[in-house]
Amino acid sequence: MLRELQIAPDNAALCSVAAEEFHLAAESAIRNTGRFAVALAGGTTPRGVYTQLAERYKNLPWNKIHIFFGDERPVPPDHPESNYRMANDSLLSRVAIAAENVHRFRTELAPEAAAQDYENQLREFFHPAPGDLPRFDLVLLGLGDDGHTASLFPGTAALNESARLAVANWVEKLHTFRLTLTFPVLNHAANVIFLVSGAGKSAVLKEVLSASNQASFPSQRILPENGRLLWLIDQDAARLLAGEKLIF
């Protein structure tokens, strides 16, 4: 595993770098395999990345790009909290990507059924060999202030899932299910990029990236066994890292 840290001056620069990383990963995957399979992050940080992709990368071969989601909330696709809606508003509705290239969690179904349905979608698209796993060309992830990523929250059952590709994960602190890809899939990706922006993330980022930290956060278990891991952060999020011995 190749592990990198890149600090951008501010959020706008972070979004530009992330958009260019998406572009380069897409070009490489399409050149090598004829298609690009990417799992998008939810939350708020990635919106600026998706907006830049819509505004500056309209000429990407979107017909060869397949969009998946690292996680989803159990709400309708047009709900304000839907990760699909955020991506659709900021990117998917603004580029020439066919509906069949967008593979969302079907949250019209009950959580467990939606998770099973998503696993079926993954298997149908990637056709992994028996015992093998889908390999995303790129996975974008965020970092929660409790150290979660995707919807792999501390103390939840999904952290122990070693066989399924996607699960409905009960998150007690949110008092709701969350749909999420599991560590096996995320750690099988070719390229994983964490997007971490803002001073509000500086404390958890210091803990997550500190070499001396004994605590274990779900985000620290993202270690693509045969891939590249890039922590893409901005100055505000990095403000407590000075002088800290990091895992890099």
Least distance (Å) between residue 51 CB and ligand 6PG: 14
What are 192's strand-pairing partners? 139, 229
Query: Which window, 13-21, 98-106, 118-126, 139-147, contacts ligand 6PG (CB under 6 A)?
Result: 139-147
The window from 38-46, 87-95, 107-115, 159-167 that contacts ligand 6PG (CB under 6 A) reads 38-46
Site membership for ligand 6PG, residue 44 (CB under 6 A): yes
Nearer to ligand 6PG, 62 or 194 (CB): 194
Choose between 97 and 237: whose C-beta lies nearer to ligand 6PG: 237
Beta-strand pair 71-72/176-181: antiparallel
Rounded-to-integer distance, Cα 139 and Cα 161, Å: 19
Number of neighbours of residue 2 by Cβ within 10 angstroms: 10
Indicate which single residue of 71, 119, 137, 161 sits in contact with ligand 6PG (rule: CB under 6 A): 71
Instruction: Tell me the three state secondary structure of residue 194.
Output: strand
Instruction: Report the distance separating Cα 85 and Cα 76, nearest Å.
Output: 9
> Shortest approach of ligand 6PG to residue 36 CB, angstroms?
20
Q: CA–CA separation, 176 vs 178, rounded Å?
A: 6
Contact call for residue 42 and ligand 6PG (CB under 6 A): yes
Q: In this complex, which beta carbon is closest to ligand 6PG, that of residue 43 or of residue 154?
A: 43
State which residue has the least CB distance to ligand 6PG.
142
CA dist 80 to 87, 88, 246, Å?
Answer: 11, 11, 37
Least distance (Å) from ligand 6PG to the CB of residue 144? 4
Q: How many other C-beta atoms lie within 10 A of the C-beta of residue 27? A: 13
Residue 74 lies near ligand 6PG (rule: CB under 6 A): no
- Give the containing element (helix H, strand E) for 196: strand 191-196
Size of the site for ligand 6PG (CB under 6 A): 15
Position among 48, 142, 147, 227 found at the interface with ligand 6PG (CB under 6 A)? 142
Nearest residue (CB) to ligand 6PG, 60 versus 103: 103
CB 143 within 8 A of CB 149: yes
The pair of three-digit structure tokens given for residue 98, joined into one six-digit string: 């066919």
Residue 61 or 89 with smaller CB distance to ligand 6PG: 89
What is the DSSP secondary structure assignment for residue 246, as one 8-state letter? B
For residues 98-127, which are near ligand 6PG according to CB under 6 A?
none
Chain centre to alpha carbon of residue 67: 11
Judged by DSSP in three states, 166 sits in strand
Residue type, 125: F
Q: Which of 149, 156, 182, 202 binds ligand 6PG (CB under 6 A)?
A: 149
Q: How far is the CB of 194 from ligand 6PG (least distance, A)?
A: 9
| Interface contacts to ligand 6PG, rule CB under 6 A | 41-45, 70-71, 83, 142-144, 148-151
